[in-house]
Structure 1
Amino acid sequence: MNKINIPENPYLLLTPGPLTTTPTVKSAMLRDWCTWDDDYKLIVEKIRSDLTRLAGTGPGFTAVLMQGSGTFSVEACLTTAVPDNGILLVLANGAYGRRISQIAQKQSIQHIIHDSGDLEPPDLELLEKTLGSNPDITHVAVVHCETTTGMLNPIEAIGNIVKKFGKIFIVDAMSSFGGVPINMNQLDIDYLISSANKCIQGVPGFGFVIARTSVLGKTAGNAKSLSLDLFDQWQTMEKGKGKWRFTSPTHVVRAFARALEELDLEGGVEERFKRYDQNNRYLISQMKEMGFTPLLAEEFQSPVITAFLNPKHPDFDFKKFYNSLKRKGFVIYPGKVTEMDTFRIGNIGDIYLKDMERLVGAIRSSQYWS
């Protein structure tokens, strides 16, 4: 068999995922796997074990893998976790928090939304007041890292209030898990949702839910979908020791297993967080020096992705700016804030300080930045 060379990336993906992966993660997909074979199921079971370990949990928690993008796992979690007589409170301050509300609406889940706009964290006083005056609320959901803006929401403070009133706490940690330390035990999180192609640095194809088994175990029959039934997926994985109900993305799963190994080799979540944070701090300092203004106050900024206001310059054109950077080897993200014109630059993936230095040099030489 001829040796396959992994081609170099024509550009770095400075996005919140899919993101730039290592050659070794990509090469892990070159072998075919059988979904029923014990060798493959052992890989799945190790992934499940590794995920609960990364979440700071021990016995009493489980990880359930789900085909599709991260949103599939969000929908699977919500539609399985919240029963017909349940009421979901959604804390939103960006597109992904609002997407939780959209899912609830589509699936006829009773829900209330607290939308604090794009630039403010959830209102904790309002949360406490609402839970105190609405005892029928059963679940509270929030996005940890809202990549609409790059805001990192205060899940510890939110969780303290949620547990004070005895509610089920759901955290969409899509763009933070694996890159920002999260301990589900300490934060009293019942469901944590993320995806293969974010901070763990795998490739797209599946998401996962890490759940408290005593809570998930009460959800049989809740799901409004066959393929997105989180309880049934969990039961099949438990009884089949790594078996999925329907065809699993085998190549993506193997790449994710390699990505988990590389996370450990880097020193774990704490060390990866340091790298992302270094990327982020350097980028912000240099962008400010060039006259760019970050959208968020420093206290709200995550190390995952940073939004910048478009320069108030008559010659600035985002598409030209984007294409100029792409020709130099960098792909950035358009803005997603309705109130203001912004663009976003991600700091996660197989990206290091030297890459951010090259990016800054490319921006400095662009005629469209000032």
Structure 2
Amino acid sequence: MSQDPWLLTPGPLTTSMSVKQAMLHDWGSRDANFIAINARMRQRLVAMIGGEDAFACVPMQGSGTFAVEAMIGAFVPPAGKLLVLINGAYGKRIARICDYYKRATAILEWPEDQLVDPAWVAKALAADTAITHVAVVHCETTSGVLNPIAEVARVVAAAGRRLLIDAMSAFGAIALDAKDVSFDAVAASSNKCIEGVPGLGFILARVDALKQCQGNAPSLSLDLYDQWQALEKTGQYRFTPPIHCIVAFDQALTEHEQEGGVAGRGARYRNNCKVLVDGMRAMGFQPLLPDHVQAPIIVTFHMPADPRFDFQAFYDKLKDRGYVIYPGKLTVADSFRIGCIGRLDESHMRGALAAIRAVMAEMGVASGSPLRQAANAE
């Protein structure tokens, strides 16, 4: 069996062999053993934020966006108003969900290479008393920027409003402690920093707030409150769950704990990110973000200015060498992205850098610099 390509992407990601092997068995969705696995998974996720008895985990079939949509539909009531903080595509997606659900919104938007500014949030909340909730993306993988969640949470709490967090690309590798950061709900998924496979989203919700969500959801399949009630009463999902994904996720959670939890997983990713950025800079590539706002999740690089550089050829030649990267998603700059997460370590990052050097030489591109004068220098 040939080696699968290494996925240097924001997800889906490279997974361990043991996570893959967990899916080789069949389980009944109403089987006592599966119900026990699902309950253990839910408890582990609550423990990851220090949620104890104050929080509940509500898993939701589907991708991470399913979980975010379920969170918005449940927690923002029809008479509520959501302030959406946008500095990338995923903040914009939250606003689009509100359009579908006919929820009133206000929007604060920053360029994709800038942090959300808590001072702006405080001013917006003071100016509009109709706002009941605020939504923010923890790590915006459009650029790789890490938003100041704790500072945003403080101004939202000080204004007496409720915070909803999309932590899709950060959860499991960047600390989020419910004792230190005040929020009603956080959404994430099985296939990012916990290194499971795609197919399950989940919401960690403050129980007191979740109890107020009955009847809010404009969707049957994404009714978070009903899903929670079914799981609490029977241990079972309302509709067929992605069983193999859940069992693999449980195995991934075991491996996450064995690595040292959030601190251990985050340390590996931070080292991956440093190796990658240092190596790319040595070839002339320029990251979009300064180091102090760069999350160790995915790094955006400016396109080289050299006219001999063609991204599609670059992508294809790297894939031929066993490394899959990601195109850019920015409006502020022509770019591409390389991920640091998944079952990858320093050796994989150095292997990717060697492949990039080889491809650049094959393309006749001497430097990855985005500056035209550097590319044309003799």
What TM-score do you get using the length of structure 2 for normalisation?
0.95
1:318 paired to 2:348: no
Q: Equivalent residue for 1:308?
A: 301
Post-superposition CA distance 1:280-333 (Å, at most 9, x none): 011101111100000011111000000000011010100010011111110000
Instruction: Spell out the pairing of 1:47-58 with structure 2 (5 A cutoff).
Output: 47-58=41-52
Post-superposition CA distance 1:203-248 (Å, at most 9, x none): 001100000000010010000000000000000000012x100000
1:56 Cα deviation after fit = 1.7
SS at match of 1:186: coil
RMSD over equivalenced CA pairs, Å = 0.9
CA distance in 1, matches of 2:41, 2:31: 16
1:70 Cα deviation after fit = 0.4
Unaligned runs of 5+ in 1: 1-6
1:167 Cα deviation after fit = 0.9
1:8 Cα deviation after fit = 5.0
Q: Equivalent residue for 1:186?
A: 180
Instruction: Spell out the pairing of 1:203-352 with structure 2 (5 A cutoff).
Output: 203-241=197-235, 243-352=236-345
CA distance in 1, matches of 2:3, 2:104: 45
SS at match of 2:318: helix
SS at match of 1:344: strand
Q: Equivalent residue for 2:168?
A: 174
SS at match of 1:365: helix
Residue number among 84, 100, 103 corresponding to 1:109 in the alignment? 103
Residue number among 77, 94, 98 corresponding to 1:83 in the alignment? 77
CA distance in 2, matches of 1:291, 1:58: 48
- 2:211 aligned partner, one-letter code: G
Give the fraction of aligned pairs with identical amino acids, expressed as a percent. 46
Q: Equivalent residue for 2:138?
A: 144
Runs of 4+ residues over 4 Å off in structure 1: none
Post-superposition CA distance 1:38-94 (Å, at most 9, x none): 111000000000000011211110000000110011000101111111000000000
- 2:282 aligned partner, one-letter code: E
Whether contact under 8 Å (1:184, 1:190) holds in the other structure is no
CA distance in 1, matches of 2:20, 2:3: 11
Q: Equivalent residue for 1:118?
A: 112
Residue number among 19, 34, 37 corresponding to 2:31 in the alignment? 37
What TM-score do you get using the length of structure 1 for normalisation?
0.97
Unaligned runs of 5+ in 2: 368-378
Residue number among 348, 364, 367 corresponding to 2:357 in the alignment? 364
SS at match of 1:312: coil
CA distance in 2, matches of 1:356, 1:120: 26
1:130 paired to 2:127: no
Q: Equivalent residue for 1:4?
A: none
CA distance in 2, matches of 1:304, 1:8: 27
Aligned residues: 363
